[in-house]
Amino acid sequence: MAGADLAPALAVPAVPLLPAQGDSWYGRPGLSGGRDGEHWPVRWTVRSLDVDAEPGSGGTVTVAAADERAGLGLVTELLMDGGGLVRMRHTLTNTPGGAAAGTPFRVAGLVCALPVPARADELLDFTGRWALEKVPQRRAFAHGVWSRENRRGRTGHDGTGLLVAGTKGFGFRTGEVWGVHAGWSGDHVHYAERLPGGVSLLAAGELLEPGEVVLAQGASYRTPWVYFTWSGGGLDDASARLHDHQRAARPLPVRPVTLNNWEATYFDHGLDRLLELAGRAAAAGIERFVLDDGWFRHRRHDRAGLGDWYVDTDVWPRGLHPLADRVRELGMQFGLWFEPEMVNPDSDLAREHPDWILGRAERTPPPQRHQQVLDLARPEAYAYLLERLDALVGEYALDYIKWDHNRDIAEPVHDGVPGVHAQTLAAYRLLDELRGRHPHLEIESCSSGGARVDLGILARTDRVWTSDSNDALDRQAIQRWTGLLVPPERMGCHVGAPHDHITGRSLPLDFRAATALFGHMGVEWDLTSASREELEGLAAWIALHKRLRPLLHAGRVVRADHPDPSALLHGVVLPERAVYAYAQLTSRVESAPAPLRLPGLDPAARYEVRPAGPVPGGAAMPEWAAAPVRVPGSVLAELGLPAPALRPASVLLLEVERV
């Protein structure tokens, strides 16, 4: 066969915005579902195409399509912001007419997908567990489907967060990468598919159970936003597009250094002890005090009381006012912990309203953590929660809520049908309405740590609790990979106790504090047990964080592809200044440390480099650390600086300024 005859067979077919067999697509369909009765495969006809774009500022493409015979209409929206991040969603409507007019359409799945080129031959995604989230895993992008499906009713500790395809060996600063993220806090799917015909794509969307979304005639289903990012220079640039989008969509005020009392006092809510803790927090420079679990009725342990959102007058005879008033006298904001979506069976709420539990009346779902899930899509349960939250935020003029969600959702049944879709939308409405009533209120999304970290929840909250583990050694990796999606100012990063209660590991204060510095810094430590030297050291780190905060929470995050697996090198860069952390995690294999090549600087500029913060004890420091040095950006990036020989669990901070 002549070469010209081979061309049609070797041509790579175009991929429609919603792949379907009617378009000769033989991979996973973008839309799945059907009607009771006659089946009509969907074949879309474009009805309109609207483009609204300005050079350099992104734009919007809206495509309306229909299959009149199948009785379906579709509107697809693609939005590109000025930074190059693409958002996509579909709206599917069961239209009048067609072969099955008047019959419902059962949506089984509707995803957003975009093609990636054949040179994307590796995949990166993430797994994890409680207290060890965002563990990376890589594999070849081979023929077939690599699918990550989540059925936990929340994003999940093992949620991939960002599914990335890239050129072979891509890193933070090298290679071409494409990423996809579903901005949805309920069940979801991310997948990569490669067909032998030469087509590859990334896709994501809500994961629906049979019967969960049934469209009556004229009704519509809208997918969550799905985010697509790209970079020609590694993961950092792809991550920066996601960070820039969040910062533009919801700018945040200055992030107060926060103390949470949980690991300090647990359920011991003695007022004198809490007041002493607040006093020590204020003296260390902490700006917000958050009272965690245990303040409401019957809550002396985690097996009772959840759902009874009234202050326990046996423990707090004058309400929370003595603590809240003193916290504010000390110059700090006051916040409170809630877990609105859950209930203990041993509670007044569950005894009075057993029908409010999400599940079938005939069979209680399996318990986890002595908890069940409240059916937020039930109007009475929703109204109760809104009234209680609104009343408590108003009475105590709360500045902050830590909104927890401590279990996966098992057997979610609402009105006889699968209920995660309705539950997630109701949780979003509850957050939106509470914020609408209290615009000043800041909300943290906590879900037994990092089990609800996604752009759906972050559109309604101000930060996420990155992990229940405050072990700084584990946190170095957890924060590094969570930070692909979430900018530093939205990641809760706390200085834990000297001895971590989860891993049992003991780590020095400087390592713990330097790890927490690169996020929304806080403290989760019983400061009443700390020595004077420890309190002075903590105060110095908090002061350093405050000085660097305008940089840390506005600059571009950079991560070096450092050759030594026992160490990490990362930083945050603005045009005029930068700060880097060189963290030695474990013992080196090489006798001499690798040079510190500082990414993200202007190669044509000159910079002054000096250590910032305490110099790690026992470190063999190079000559440049004794006095500031001035070096071109190109040299810092390509040749780097001689690295200090640090002990394990040590961090050296470098401050860089353009001169």
- Strand 333-338 with 288-291, pairing: parallel
- Strand 200-206 with 188-194, pairing: antiparallel
Whole-number CA gyration radius for the chain: 26
Q: Which two tokens stand for residue 352?
A: 């009075």
pLDDT of residue 351: 98
| Secondary structure of residue 474 in the 3-state scheme | helix
Q: CA 194 to CA 201: how far, in whole Å?
A: 7
Percentages of the chain per state (helix, strand, coil), in multiples of 5: 25, 30, 45
pLDDT of residue 13: 61
- Strand 372-373 with 400-403, pairing: unpaired
Catalytic residue among 399, 404, 408, 454: 404
Question: Is residue 564 annotated as part of the catalytic site, yes or no?
Answer: no
With residue 91 as reference, give the H or E element that holds it: strand 86-94
Classify residue 343 by burial, with Cβ atoms within 10 Å: 0-12, 13-18, 19+: buried
Residues of the chain with pLDDT under 50: 1-11
pLDDT of residue 9: 41
Phi, psi (deg, nearest 5) at residue 571? -165, -175
pLDDT of residue 619: 85
Q: Which domains does the chain have, with CATH numbers?
A: 3-249 (2.70.98.60), 557-658 (2.60.40.1180)
Question: Is residue 468 annotated as part of the catalytic site, yes or no?
Answer: yes
**Buried/exposed code over 278-296 (b: 16+ C-beta within 10 A; e: otherwise):** bebbbebbbbbbbbbbbbb
Catalytic residue among 237, 468, 471, 510: 468
pLDDT in tens, 97-122: 776 778 999 999 999 999 999 999 99
pTM of the model as a whole: 0.96
| Secondary structure of residue 637 in the 3-state scheme | helix
